[in-house]
Amino acid sequence: MTISQAAGNVCTVSTLATEKQETVNSAESQVIYLPNTDCTIKSQASLSAFTSYRVGGAAEWFLAPRNLETLQAGTRYAKERGLSVTIVGAGSNLLVSDRGLPGLVIATRHLRHSHFDQETGQLTVAAGESIPSLAWAAAELGWEGLEWAVGIPGTVGGAVVMNAGAHNSCIADMLVSAQILLPDGTLETLTPAELGYSYRTSLLQGSDLIVTQATLQLQPGADPAKVLAVTKQHKQHRLTTQPYNFPSCGSVFRNPKPYSAGWLIEQTGLKGFQIGGAQVAQLHANFIVNRGGAKASDIFCLIRHIQHQVQDRWSIWLEPEVKMLGEFQPAC
């Protein structure tokens, strides 16, 4: 059963647009037609709407492809011009610098399709599909396996890269394979073993490989009411234990086992501590929330402050889970 398809037919490959010319919109912003597509690349596009923190400067160039061919055309365009490529999924694990990002930023959120195969119990999904939406869709069909993921507000691509997880499950446990776009423009299918998974980590992090699609093994045939009830329970647990009412990136730091980062931060007396609009959440000390008007630099400085305070008290240097992109002032 195919649940969704690419919404609309914009930003697709087209033979009509080959001759379209660069259009200058204003002194600061340009819109360029991507060769052989009807998709545009914009300059100086603000990224704050593309991160769950709601902060960040502008992308030098920005593209939001709606299909694989346009994604490939975008990476080709970047390669020909020597532009770096940065991939943004739902931006729910990103801190983008106030100074913005150089090169081409590609947002994958419009790469959408999903197919539930009744015979194999496999769910094949495009990189831009939303993890919570898939968890709800699977539950409504009576497919078990994604209940744990309902509170993770990322895309499939981001989850495969980050090895997203919760409630003692993670994406690596159910990943059958991931389709990857290589820098030379070709596609390759990789297995979890080839992706080198461990806690919130994969070999994809820091690489120039792009996840375009993933296949997950689920278990069909359960009572939808039962799967929906478990999914709702997980969602409810999140809402009561984590601050979903303010912009955040979820947990900021990895848990330095055997400790939890949240416990260390709370015991250091940092709950509620604020720099500018960025605050250590009262509800969960491993969350930094944007209380309104925060800059990326406020969040960055709060991360550094927490690291130093926890180091002084516990001799443990907390490693960020959040991916920091762009330039940040080393001193706060």
Q: Which position among 65, 157, 220, 277 is part of the footprint of ligand FAD (CB under 6 A)?
A: 157
Q: Give the binding range for ligand FAD (CB under 6 A) out of 112-120, 134-142, 149-157, 303-311.
A: 149-157
- With b meaning 16 or more CB within 10 Å and e meaning fewer, what string describes 133-156? bbbbbbbebbbbbbbbbbbbbbbb
Contact 159, 170 (CB under 8 A): no
Give the separation between CA 106 and CA 14, rounded to whole angstroms.
19
Our finding on whether 277 is near ligand FAD (CB under 6 A) is: no
Instruction: Say whether residue 88 binds ligand FAD (CB under 6 A).
Output: yes
Q: Considering the complex, what minimum distance in angstroms separates the CB of residue 142 from ligand FAD?
A: 24
Query: Of these, 154, 220, 320, 326, which contacts ligand FAD (CB under 6 A)?
Result: 154
258 preceded by a cis bond (ω within 30 of 0): yes
Indicate which single residue of 36, 262, 323, 326 sits in contact with ligand FAD (rule: CB under 6 A).
Answer: 323
Cα–Cα distances in angstroms (integers) from residue 330 to residues 279, 294, 297, 303, in the given order: 20, 18, 10, 12
Q: Which of 86, 26, 30, 14 is nearest to 56 (CA)?
A: 86
- Indicate the residue among 164 and 172 with the shorter CB distance to ligand FAD: 164
User: Which member of 70, 108, 290, 297 binds ligand FAD (CB under 6 A)?
Assistant: 108
How many angstroms separate the CA atoms of 49 and 23, rounded? Answer: 24
Among 56, 57, 250, 320, binds ligand FAD (CB under 6 A): 250
Q: 9-38 mask for ligand FAD (x: CB under 6 A)?
A: ------------------------------
Quote the least distance from Cβ 170 to ligand FAD, whole Å. Answer: 7
Q: Is 200 a residue of the active site?
A: yes
Q: Are strands 2-4 and 165-166 parallel, antiparallel or unpaired?
A: unpaired
DSSP 147: G
Please report whether residue 249 would count as binding ligand FAD according to CB under 6 A. Answer: yes
Residue 127 touching ligand FAD (CB under 6 A): yes
Q: Binding of ligand FAD at residue 71 (CB under 6 A)?
A: no
Residue pair 86/106 in contact (Cβ under 8 Å)? The answer is yes
Phi, psi at 236, each rounded to 5°: -60, -40
Per-residue contact track with ligand FAD, 228 to 247, x per CB under 6 A?
A: ----------------x---
Task: Assess 153 for contact with ligand FAD (CB under 6 A).
Answer: yes
| Residue from 78, 104, 125, 164 in contact with ligand FAD (CB under 6 A) | 164
The answer to whether the beta carbons of residues 123 and 114 sit under 8 Å apart is: yes
- Per the annotation, the verdict on 177 as an active-site residue is no
In the annotation, is 4 catalytic?
A: no
Active-site residue, selected from the candidate residues 99, 200, 238, 254: 200
With CB under 6 A, what is the number of residues at the site for ligand FAD? 33
Residue 165, interface with ligand FAD (CB under 6 A)?
yes
Binding mask of the shown chain, residues 39 to 58, with x at each position contacting ligand FAD by CB under 6 A: -------------x------
Show Cβ contacts of residue 101 under 8 Å, excluding neighbours closer than 6 positions.
47, 57, 58, 59, 60, 86, 325, 326
- Complete DSSP assignment for 261-322: HHHHHHHTT-TT-EETTEEE-SS-TTBEEE-SS--HHHHHHHHHHHHHHHHHHHS--PPB-S
Interface with ligand FAD (CB under 6 A): 52, 87-94, 108, 127, 151-155, 157-159, 161-162, 164-166, 200, 204, 210-211, 244, 248-250, 323
Catalytically active residues are: 200, 251, 321
